[in-house]
Structure 1
């Protein structure tokens, strides 16, 4: 499943129109179904999906002391809505989402802080949680890079972040993005855990301290 939005896209949807006005150049989504691992079928197929919005960096040339608040409040909620809608369509609804994550890649003319501004504030994170019906803090990745690379985005359980069964990651390919003056904003979701989780959890762990290393010679 892939969707691309350009300035020539049909107008009419208010969110899309606002996104275009704010400099969103592309939106694309992808999903994959994890059916087996280690040669053994998973109990159920697990769908992992990513949605990416490529937006003009509103802070290019403003310098490292510029206030990021106004543009963050303007851009981040629109991007959160765009990405959430596409994730929900790919996964099949919020009730099917079990894990989520987020990321941002700023182009080479921007700062890492520009990437963070679009994913690390309530204008993005709170909305993504609300739309995907989660309560956990959202795990993340952010970096600065040239266009055309890959980013590994982590996920964990949307309501129980310490649940190890849902610790997973999804590789996202950023074709033609971000340009030097852009930011690629990414949201990811999964319909389930790893195919065969069996490493326990905090509720089943035995107490472990550095005492287990006593008596082992260096």
Structure 2
């Protein structure tokens, strides 16, 4: 990761990027990292025995493709940047939620500044150089649900989440909102990974394993 012979290269496989990561962040254009933690202790009128904790790590970085054409090859920068972004985000999620085992749900999102293309979001979050790294580090197997958009600084985005290894588990369908007042600037991207330590509070709408069969025939018995 470094061309300076006096500075050792960083092995991200074994490193915790919460410490001494500044050089790596500078190399991929990271301007700031914003971590939001949401803890719910009471839902409705019920005090929760175990608080539901959600966390989202937002990484604001320079969009490396601004100024290019729609025919530009995005792959080289994707391979260079996406795995590092994934590692930085996951290290912080684990730090705030306790452990890999305590993280049970995940999701991802990206916001593109106004000078970029929505495909620039896809280049960083919809490839194995990002998704596979996040899944493996969090010991998940589900495809990650997502949201993405192009917008001005301060725009809110809602990140959906579901169970990291059993995506059809309805009790884990949840989401978290993120907004950063000064991001993304026109030439920036915001890449977000969100996680939760459990299902929705007081979940009670059943699951696919207990649902009765429902088809459009049901509509024939409903009168307006």
Q: What TM-score, normalized by structure 2, do the two folds share?
A: 0.89
- Determine the structure 1 residue equivalent to 2:165: 159
Residue by residue over 1:32-65, the C-alpha shift from the partner in whole angstroms, topping out at 9 and shown as x without a partner, is 1111211111231011001011010000111111
- The answer as to 2:42 corresponding to 1:49 is no
Do the aligned residues in 2 keep the contact of 1:43 with 1:195 (CA within 8 Å)?
no
Q: In the alignment, does 2:108 pair up with 1:114? A: no
Pairwise CA distance, 1:13? 5.5
Aligned-residue offset at 1:15: 4.5
Name the counterpart of 1:197.
Answer: 203
Provide the aligned length of Structure 1 versus Structure 2: 207
**Structure 1: which 5+ runs fail to align?**
1-11
Query: TM-score of the superposition, structure 1-length normalised?
Result: 0.91
Structural mapping, 1:134-149, within 5 Å: 134-149=140-155
Q: In the alignment, is the contact (CA less than 8 A) between 1:115 and 1:183 conserved in 2?
A: yes
Which residues of 2 match residues 1-218 of structure 1 at below 5 A? 15-217=21-223
Q: Which runs of 5+ in 2 are unaligned?
A: 1-17
Measure the CA separation in 2 of the matches of 1:164 and 1:216: 26
Q: Distance in 1 between matches of 2:171 and 2:222?
A: 31
- The whole-number CA distance in structure 1 between the counterparts of 2:214 and 2:49 is 31
Over 6 Å off, 4+ runs: none
RMSD: 1.4
User: Residue 8 of structure 2 aligns with which residue?
Assistant: none
In 2 relative to 1, CA 149–139 (structure 1 residues): closer, same or farther, beyond 3 Å? same
